[in-house]
């Protein structure tokens, strides 16, 4: 093969592979939203390498759940709420929709606050003005600009996350200790430990991701013009499920790798030097100072890097949060939905997006500290995910819903294990809360 032909062949393969990447990559990027960055930073600062193992053992759990959600959407041609509506009672449907709407709105509020707080590290503008400007920008962008176009621009800001592995590799690390902490789980029977670890689970395996990925697979089918059979189910191309799995694997593995490096960096830079509590965005940004120590004003450069990452990921994730709530409500009440539709064609759907962002904005004016709100949101998601995982596990194993595309033995096992692990974490959190704060 001539050099030019080989180059053309390689280019075609790269372009072909890039076309596979879609909902899974976006979901994985949104997984490392400001709530995730804050929670991972706090666990590294508070427990050092003690919860590093979560980033390894969450990979099969997160992958199994997101693959199941994507497959459910692809096979049925409906989002999760639509499937639950068809196969569960109205009480269950309403409970699910309310739970997702509340969890997502709280998360939106926390992320808007985080974006505003991060922006304050760079510009001297009042917090309230930055929060309002962020919300207005998001509302206009999501309603006027297609999310795919919007996400393609913003995803490049997520490259700021590479500052964490770069910092971790620059700083002298006890790699044997890190490897041990990654492989061997460490458990402490305390409220503080289970509070943070429930947050780690909740910000990684989060309710909004379940609904978003299922619905986005349906959007993907619409985009490529996949038809339906006599029963109204999509006629999936032979490679559709395979490509979805590759997309999901890359997205989820990337999210967990970012978590691993954030914990390592904050553990090394903050925990090892006695900084065990992150109260502000500036505190979290200190973890990146070793990377930019050679710059004249390293402290400000670190803040700038941190701000770019938080702002970019926040602007990427907040529409996902609002969108997943809108998908759930639209499917539950039979409204026209989809980010591919114009506002006039899906007023109820976009109305939920706008309302959830405005309520999220208002949550920032009730006196809650932005950084604490991010961790609290993660913990809330960790508890809220448990009943949703139960429903996903049941749907994933149901041949009447998914036919021959129902989850295999490994998929079913890992989704149920995820339900069990997160359920036990939530129970342990509540037990230690009662035992350590009330019984004693």
| Tokens matching residue 434 | 């009662």
Higher pLDDT, 174 or 302: 174
Q: Is-contact 51 266, C-beta < 8 A?
A: no
**Distance, CA of 133 to CA of 216 (rounded, Å):** 27
The mean pLDDT of the chain is: 84
Question: For position 5, what pLDDT does the model report?
Answer: 47
Mean local confidence (pLDDT), 10-39: 59
Question: For position 19, what pLDDT does the model report?
Answer: 46
**Distance, CA of 373 to CA of 117 (rounded, Å):** 12
SS3 content of the chain, % helix, strand, coil (to 5): 80, 0, 20
By percentage, how much of the chain surpasses pLDDT 90? 45
Question: For position 148, what pLDDT does the model report?
Answer: 65
Helix axes 163-170, 240-269, angle to 10 degrees: 50
Q: Is the pLDDT of residue 433 over 70?
A: yes
**Distance, CA of 192 to CA of 153 (rounded, Å):** 38
If one counts every other C-beta atom within 10 angstroms of the C-beta of residue 11, the result is 10
For the ranges 39-43, 110-114, 271-275, 413-417, the one whose mean pLDDT is highest: 413-417
CATH of domain 33-182+196-439: 1.20.1740.10
**Distance, CA of 371 to CA of 315 (rounded, Å):** 17
Q: Is the pLDDT of residue 358 over 50?
A: yes
User: 41: closest CA among 361, 262, 332?
Assistant: 262
Q: Is the pLDDT of residue 392 over 50?
A: yes
**Distance, CA of 284 to CA of 38 (rounded, Å):** 7
Question: For position 145, what pLDDT does the model report?
Answer: 73
Task: Render pLDDT for 43-73 as a digit per residue (tens, 0 to 9).
Answer: 999 999 999 999 999 999 999 999 999 999 9
Mean local confidence (pLDDT), 329-340: 86
Question: For position 27, what pLDDT does the model report?
Answer: 62
Neighbour-count burial of 264, counting CB atoms closer than 10 A to its CB (0-12 exposed, 13-18 middle, 19+ buried): buried
Lowest-pLDDT range of 303-307, 367-371, 434-438 = 434-438
Lowest-pLDDT range of 2-16, 184-198, 200-214 = 2-16
**Distance, CA of 75 to CA of 236 (rounded, Å):** 8
Question: For position 92, what pLDDT does the model report?
Answer: 94
Mean local confidence (pLDDT), 334-360: 87
Helix axes 191-204, 54-76, angle to 10 degrees: 40
Question: For position 28, what pLDDT does the model report?
Answer: 58
Q: Is-contact 119 125, C-beta < 8 A?
A: yes
Question: For position 18, what pLDDT does the model report?
Answer: 44
Q: Is the pLDDT of residue 369 over 50?
A: yes
Per-position DSSP letters for 86-104, written without gaps between them: HHS-HHHHHHHHHHHHHHH
Q: Is the pLDDT of residue 11 over 60?
A: no
Higher pLDDT, 437 or 324: 324
Q: Is the pLDDT of residue 143 over 90?
A: no
Question: For position 291, what pLDDT does the model report?
Answer: 74
If one counts every other C-beta atom within 10 angstroms of the C-beta of residue 368, the result is 14
Q: Is the pLDDT of residue 135 over 90?
A: yes
Q: Is the pLDDT of residue 154 over 80?
A: no
Task: Render pLDDT for 99-129 as a digit per residue (tens, 0 to 9).
Answer: 999 999 999 999 999 999 999 999 999 999 9
Q: Is the pLDDT of residue 167 over 80?
A: yes
Q: Is the pLDDT of residue 345 over 90?
A: no
Question: For position 106, what pLDDT does the model report?
Answer: 92
Question: Residue 12 — very low, low, confident or very high, per pLDDT cuts 50/70/90?
Answer: very low
Question: Residue 295 — very low, low, confident or very high, per pLDDT cuts 50/70/90?
Answer: low
Mean local confidence (pLDDT), 323-340: 87
Higher pLDDT, 369 or 390: 390
Helix (H, G, I), strand (E, B) or coil at 234: strand
Q: Is the pLDDT of residue 240 over 90?
A: no
E strands, 197-348, are: none
Higher pLDDT, 239 or 231: 239
User: 278: closest CA among 296, 265, 294?
Assistant: 265
Q: Is the pLDDT of residue 8 over 70?
A: no
Lowest-pLDDT range of 104-108, 142-146, 316-320 = 142-146
Mean local confidence (pLDDT), 411-432: 95
Domains of the chain, residue spans: 33-182+196-439
Q: Is-contact 278 284, C-beta < 8 A?
A: yes
Q: Is-contact 32 314, C-beta < 8 A?
A: no
**Alpha helices (runs of H) in 334-369, residue ranges in sequence order:** 347-362
Q: Is the pLDDT of residue 14 over 80?
A: no
């Amino acid at each position: 093969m001539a050099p030019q032909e080989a180059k053309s062949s390689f280019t075609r393969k790269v372009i072909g592979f890039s076309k596979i990447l879609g909902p899974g990559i976006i979901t994985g990027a949104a997984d490392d939203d400001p709530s995730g960055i804050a929670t991972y930073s706090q666990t590294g600062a508070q427990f050092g390498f003690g919860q590093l193992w979560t980033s390894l053992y969450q990979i099969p759990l997160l992958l199994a759940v997101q693959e199941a959600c994507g497959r459910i959407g692809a096979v049925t041609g409906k989002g999760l709420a639509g499937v639950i509506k068809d196969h569960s009672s109205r009480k269950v449907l309403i409970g699910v929709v309310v739970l997702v709407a509340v969890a997502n709105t709280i998360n939106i509020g926390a992320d808007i606050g985080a974006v505003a707080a991060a922006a304050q590290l760079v510009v001297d503008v009042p917090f309230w003005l930055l929060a309002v400007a962020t919300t207005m920008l998001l509302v206009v962008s999501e309603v006027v600009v297609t999310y795919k176009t919007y996400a393609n621009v913003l995803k490049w800001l997520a490259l700021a996350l590479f500052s964490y592995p770069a910092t971790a590799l620059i700083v002298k690390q006890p790699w044997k200790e890190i490897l041990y902490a990654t492989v061997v789980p460490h458990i402490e029977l305390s409220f503080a430990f289970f509070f943070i670890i429930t947050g780690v689970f909740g910000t990684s395996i989060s309710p909004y991701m379940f609904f978003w990925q299922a619905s986005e697979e349906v959007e993907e089918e619409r985009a490529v013009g996949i038809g339906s059979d006599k029963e109204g189910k999509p006629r999936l191309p032979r490679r559709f499920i395979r490509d979805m799995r590759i997309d999901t694997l890359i997205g989820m593995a990337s999210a967990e790798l970012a978590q691993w490096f954030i914990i390592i960096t904050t553990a090394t830079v903050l925990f090892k030097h006695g900084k065990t509590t992150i109260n502000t965005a500036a505190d979290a940004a200190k973890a990146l100072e070793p990377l930019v120590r050679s710059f004249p004003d390293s402290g400000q450069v670190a803040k700038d890097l941190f701000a770019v990452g938080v702002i970019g990921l926040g602007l990427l994730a907040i529409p996902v949060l609002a969108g997943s709530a809108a998908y759930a409500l639209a499917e539950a009440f039979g409204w026209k939905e989809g980010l591919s539709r114009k506002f006039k064609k899906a007023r109820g759907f976009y109305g939920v997006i706008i309302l959830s962002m405005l309520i999220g904005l208002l949550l920032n004016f009730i006196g809650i500290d932005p950084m604490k709100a991010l961790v609290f949101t993660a913990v809330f998601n960790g508890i809220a995910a448990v009943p949703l995982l139960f429903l996903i596990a049941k749907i994933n194993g149901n041949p009447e819903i998914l036919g021959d595309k129902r989850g295999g033995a490994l998929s079913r096992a890992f989704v149920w294990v995820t339900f069990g692990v997160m359920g036990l974490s939530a129970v342990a959190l509540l037990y230690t809360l009662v035992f350590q704060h009330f019984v004693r």
